[in-house]
Amino acid sequence: MPLRRILSSLLLLTSASWGLSSCVVKRRLITRTGAARTGAPPLLTASRSELIEKIAEQFNAIKDFSATVDMTPALGTVEKSSITEYKDVRGYILYRRPADIRIIGLYPLVRNTAFDMVSNGNDFKLYVPTKNRFIVGPNAIQQPSPNKLENLRPQHFLEALLVRPVDPSEKVMLENFTDEENAFYVLHLVRETGPQELELTRSVWFSRVDLRLARQIILDPKGNILTDARYSDWHEYDNVPFPKHIEINRPRDEYAVVLDIVKMDINKGLSDDKFVLNQPEGTKLQTVGANPAPASAPSPAQGINP
């Protein structure tokens, strides 16, 4: 076959293939949560040790804070196909190292106290005015109570609000969970419980768009989710980054709460009296758990339940 004819055939085939490509090839724009929708953002990279250090830096940057928040507590679970939300609940959260936390919730409109709870890290106190009850007990739950109110602890909120650094006893595995819709680094924290026995204690998620904390899942020894906390809309408060929007879900305790920060002061100092909650006169004292001692409290969602 003459060379001229061979070249003509190749050109014809090439043109046909180009035409076919333009008909069947479709480009899809990849967008990711937290990024502009003008195109796929460049994903950031980090090593396991760098992510572990980011957790420690975020935790250690906060010595105390005072936050005004809008709360949306919810009772029920997806599994039971019934969730009741309470809108327009104003709340105040105070924290001071090492483990002092106080949470106050106000009813919508009238702004009367719905609940007031405080904890020193070991014990808790909870005041529920509508029930005329003052509940005290240890943070640790030895045996869950059928009464969900008695299972609530301020510590649950503290664990969700501040992701604690990796403990030396925890082994860490890194997963790069990136596909068309997701872009996360996930640190799986595992503890050795015996010979050839491992227990997954937590998983901490980072967005690869900005390398900010995006989610934390805390599990019990059987692998059930105790807390599922999600973080978004990060802002600088007193030069310290903190998520403005936080979703806390406690599926086993059948409650959840969404927090949106209205105002926040970090590292301004908080006095001892801010974490004092005395039993109001005329209220009924109830002690829960084993070996209780005066301290501090449960959850907003249950507190507003009439």
8 Å CB contact between 172 and 187: yes
Determine what percent of the chain is predicted with pLDDT higher than 90. 59
Q: What is the mean pLDDT of residues 262-285?
A: 96
Q: What pLDDT does residue 193 have?
A: 87
**Chain segment 86-117, per-residue pLDDT in tens:** 667 899 999 999 999 999 999 887 778 989 99
Does 1 reside within a domain?
A: no
Q: How many distinct structural domains can be found in the chain? A: 1
**Chain segment 23-62, per-residue pLDDT in tens:** 555 554 555 555 555 556 799 999 999 999 999 999 999 9
Q: How far is CA 7 from the centre of its chain?
A: 64
Does 10 reside within a domain?
A: no
Determine what percent of the chain is predicted with pLDDT higher than 70. 75
Beta strands in 108-254 (DSSP E): 113-119, 123-128, 133-138, 170-178, 183-194, 197-207, 213-219, 225-237, 240-250
Does 38 reside within a domain?
A: no
**Residue 75 three-state SS:** strand
Does 12 reside within a domain?
A: no
Q: Which residue has the higher pLDDT, 82 or 130?
A: 130
Secondary structure (DSSP) of 260-294: EEEEEEESS---GGGG--PPPTTPEEEE-SSS--S
Q: Cα-atom radius of gyration of the chain, to the nearest Å?
A: 26
Q: What pLDDT does residue 280 have?
A: 95
Residue 278: partners with Cβ closer than 8 Å, 6 or more residues away: none
Of 220, 231, 225, 223, the residue nearest 250 (C-alpha): 225
Q: 22 phi and psi, to 5 degrees?
A: -65, -20
Of 301, 125, 153, 117, the residue nearest 226 (C-alpha): 153
Does 175 reside within a domain?
A: yes
> Quick one: which H or E segment has residue 19?
helix 3-24
* Residue-number span of the structural domain to which 96 is assigned: 48-303
8 Å CB contact between 262 and 92: no
Q: What pLDDT does residue 148 have?
A: 67
Q: What pLDDT does residue 16 have?
A: 47
Q: According to the per-residue pLDDT averaged within each range, which of 127-131, 136-140, 288-292 is highest?
A: 127-131
Q: Which two tokens stand for residue 173?
A: 């595995």
Name residue 293's amino acid. Answer: A
Does 244 reside within a domain?
A: yes
pLDDT for residue 219 is more than 80: yes
> Any idea what the CATH number is for the domain that residue 212 is in?
2.50.20.10
Does 9 reside within a domain?
A: no
Q: Which DSSP letter does residue 40 get?
A: P
**Chain segment 173-218, per-residue pLDDT in tens:** 999 999 988 999 999 999 998 888 899 999 999 999 999 999 999 9
Q: What pLDDT does residue 228 have?
A: 97
Q: What pLDDT does residue 306 have?
A: 30
pLDDT band, residue 80 (cuts 50/70/90): low
Q: What's the mean per-residue pLDDT of the chain?
A: 83
